[in-house]
């Protein structure tokens, strides 16, 4: 349905405060079809156009523009066939309502200097084909973009469901598959399959976002803390010689091949405040190793930290 977006003869179907924004967007759009007359100076005095444009709300649309020296009537629609029909009707109705002019030989002068509307004076056979073809090409491009966006959204929603199933089943614990299957009205094998895919996604996210920081105390003690965890692990006496290097330990922790644990001699500090420690390095999947600089532009690490980081002088 055609929507009035600028007019001196009709009320607008948009908020008037956005009229100029719509008009600017239309004028910047792509011209598809055009009919116009000329004054005695060869300047356009009346034009009727179809333009493809993106409105200020981000919607791809087709505008039909009737523009005279003192009046405008601009409308738009998301349907090219509707825009084309309205455009051709405007051209024909304009011809019907115009005063007939004749030349010095008594021949009727066509109202328009150029038009691509069949049956109207000044029409050239097939002149509408290029505009129609471009319009349908644009529709195909817009539809492709919309389909790709819809697929992206559908994929995100599917993955969100998969991870939600995984987290719900793990939270339920023993018998979680059966509990969730009853809740969502699916079979246990189906629920388990969805949740397994969710766990794969969660594991990939965990690896991508994984980060661990390394701290050192005044006595050369070393501490590890994974991002998002409140537990700070003391690595134990002489850890700089018996563990590491730091990057190897951090990578193994991310991959699930190792993590600080009391059986290996590490001690957990639950909710420990790291304010009294010196942050000497961070390793993350995205950024790799980042060694913190100290006040003298060298590494902030002490002797033990330098050994564990494998940055000895």
Neighbouring C-beta atoms of residue 122, cutoff 10 Å? 17
Predicted local confidence at residue 274, as pLDDT: 94
Task: Kindly give, in sequence order, each residue whose CB lies less than 8 Å from that of residue 121, ignoring residues fewer than 6 positions away.
Answer: 95, 108, 110, 111, 112, 115
Predicted local confidence at residue 4, as pLDDT: 97
**Cα→Cα distances 173→32, 162, 170, 176, 256, Å:** 62, 17, 5, 5, 21
Three-state DSSP state, 101: strand
- 212 pLDDT exceeds 90? yes
| CB burial readout 26-51, b (16+ within 10 A) else e | beebeebbbbbbeeeeeeeebbbbbb
- 62 pLDDT exceeds 70? yes
Predicted local confidence at residue 70, as pLDDT: 87
User: pLDDT averaged over the chain?
Assistant: 93
Instruction: Put the strands of the sheet holding 3-7 in their side by side order.
Output: 3-7, 72-77, 60-68, 44-54, 30-38
Predicted local confidence at residue 104, as pLDDT: 67
Q: Which two tokens stand for residue 185?
A: 């009205």
- Per-residue model confidence as pLDDT tens digits over 225-256: 999 999 999 999 899 999 989 999 999 999 99
Pairwise CA distance, residues 158 & 127, whole Å: 48
Contact 64, 91 (CB under 8 A): no
Q: Which of 155, 133, 122, 43 is nearest to 80 (CA)?
A: 133
Angle at 305 between CA 299 and CA 307, to 5 degrees: 105
Contact 198, 162 (CB under 8 A): yes
Rounded mean pLDDT, 54-63? 96
Predicted local confidence at residue 295, as pLDDT: 83
Which stretches does DSSP call E strand in 69-195? 72-77, 101-102, 108-109
**Cα→Cα distances 182→125, 178, 198, Å:** 67, 6, 19
Predicted local confidence at residue 103, as pLDDT: 66
Output phi, psi for 68, to 5 deg.
Answer: -115, 180
Contact 261, 252 (CB under 8 A): no
Predicted local confidence at residue 298, as pLDDT: 82
- 296 pLDDT exceeds 90? no
- Per-residue model confidence as pLDDT tens digits over 214-226: 999 999 999 999 9
Contact 195, 203 (CB under 8 A): no
pTM: 0.64
Sorting pLDDT into bands at 50, 70 and 90, what band is 27?
A: very high
Angle at 25 between CA 21 and CA 26, to 5 degrees: 115
- Sign of the CA dihedral 46, 52, 53, 57? positive
- Per-residue model confidence as pLDDT tens digits over 131-142: 999 999 999 999
Pairwise CA distance, residues 171 & 107, whole Å: 88
Sorting pLDDT into bands at 50, 70 and 90, what band is 69?
A: confident
């Amino acid at each position: 349905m055609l929507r009035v977006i600028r007019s001196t003869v009709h009320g607008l179907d948009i908020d008037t405060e956005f009229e100029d924004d719509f008009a600017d967007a239309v004028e910047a759009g792509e011209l598809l079809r055009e009919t116009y007359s000329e004054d005695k100076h060869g300047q356009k005095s009346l034009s009727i156009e179809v333009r493809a444009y993106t409105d200020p709300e981000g919607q791809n649309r087709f505008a039909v523009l009737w523009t005279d020296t003192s009046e405008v009537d601009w409308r738009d629609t998301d349907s090219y066939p509707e825009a084309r029909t309205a455009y051709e009707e405007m051209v024909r109705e304009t011809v019907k309502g115009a005063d007939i002019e004749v030349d010095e030989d008594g021949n009727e002068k066509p109202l328009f200097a150029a038009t691509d509307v069949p049956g109207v004076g000044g029409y050239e056979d097939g002149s509408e084909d290029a505009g129609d073809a471009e319009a349908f090409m644009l529709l195909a491009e817009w539809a492709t973009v919309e389909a790709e966006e819809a697929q992206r959204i559908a994929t995100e929603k599917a993955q969100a469901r998969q991870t939600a199933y995984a987290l719900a089943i793990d939270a339920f614990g023993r018998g979680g598959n059966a509990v969730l299957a009853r809740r969502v009205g699916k079979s246990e094998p189906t629920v388990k399959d969805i949740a397994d895919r969710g766990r794969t996604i969660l594991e990939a996210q965990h690896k991508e976002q994984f980060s661990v920081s390394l701290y050192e105390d005044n006595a050369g003690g070393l501490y590890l803390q994974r991002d998002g965890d409140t537990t700070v692990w003391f690595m134990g006496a002489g850890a700089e010689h018996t563990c590491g290097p730091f990057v190897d330990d951090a990578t193994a922790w991310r991959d699930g091949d190792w993590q600080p644990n009391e059986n290996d001699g590490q001690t957990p500090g639950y909710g420990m405040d790291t304010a009294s420690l010196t942050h000497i390095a961070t390793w993350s999947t995205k950024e790799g190793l980042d060694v913190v600089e100290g006040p003298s532009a060298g590494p902030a690490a002490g002797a033990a930290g330098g050994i564990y980081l494998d940055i000895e002088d």
